[in-house]
Amino acid sequence: MKVKCPTCKKSVEWEGNDFRPFCSERCKTNDLALWAEEKYVVSEEIDEELDVDGLSERIN
């Protein structure tokens, strides 16, 4: 299956790709750098009242 690299949009094989979903280590590193520079953000506030213990009990 072919997918597009989220960074450069190059078409790349999914199977056997050590950097998936990226096409290369360079694109993977560039994406990480954008997160570190806060160029990407999560759009919703995190609910600090989330009952993580209760959630894990319901999953198991």
Q: How far is CA 20 from the centre of its chain?
A: 10
Q: Splitting the chain (60 residues) into consecutive groups of 10 residues, what average pLDDT does each group show?
A: 94 94 95 92 71 55
pLDDT tens-digit readout, 32-44: 999 999 898 887 7
Asked if the structure places residue 48 within a domain, the reply is no
> How far apart, in Å, do the first and last CA atoms of the chain sit?
33
Backbone angles phi and psi of 35, in degrees to 5: -65, -45
Structural domain range at position 13: 1-42
Rounded to two decimals, the pTM is 0.63
CATH code of the domain in which 19 resides: 3.30.50.10
Q: What pLDDT was estimated at residue 44? A: 73
Number of domains present in the structure of the chain: 1
Q: What pLDDT was estimated at residue 16? A: 93
Residue 53 has a CB neighbour count (10 Å cut-off) of 7
How far are the Cα atoms of 6, 7, 20, 33, 49 from residue 37, in angstroms, in the given order? 17, 15, 22, 6, 28
Q: What pLDDT was estimated at residue 52? A: 62
